[in-house]
Amino acid sequence: MKTVKCYSPCAEITISYSDGTNTLVQLIPPFNISTFNQDICPEAMTIPFGTFAAYQTLAKEIAYPHLAVNDLVLDNTKNLSAIEIKSTASETMLGLIGVTIGGVEDMF
């Protein structure tokens, strides 16, 4: 997700469990997602991706396209039934490149 607006939710992730409970996570730049052209988010890892063809309104020194990798911690005591991702702002570009689901023991 990339947004041009800060301090306002740009997307929501709804995590649904098989017991009927849900958890809502709002993505709010710059707190837990970076903005369109800058990596100013402390909770996301940045991966450079692509180039801007022109720097019409963006300063070349601070603007670079990138992917933001975020952790979404689930409740490991419940069975996951669905993950819904939706854009909540018209200026948001929404894309999902991949999801990895595994336990902490699978990571090491």
Domain that holds residue 18: 1-108
pLDDT digits (tens, 9 = 90+) for 3-35: 567 788 888 999 999 999 999 999 888 888 877
Domain count across the chain: 1
Strongest mean pLDDT among 18-22, 83-87, 97-101: 18-22
Residue 2 burial (10 A CB sphere; 0-12, 13-18, 19+): buried
Q: What is the pLDDT of residue 105?
A: 63
Q: What is the pLDDT of residue 11?
A: 86
How big is the CA angle at 17 (ends 12 and 19), to the nearest 5 degrees?
140
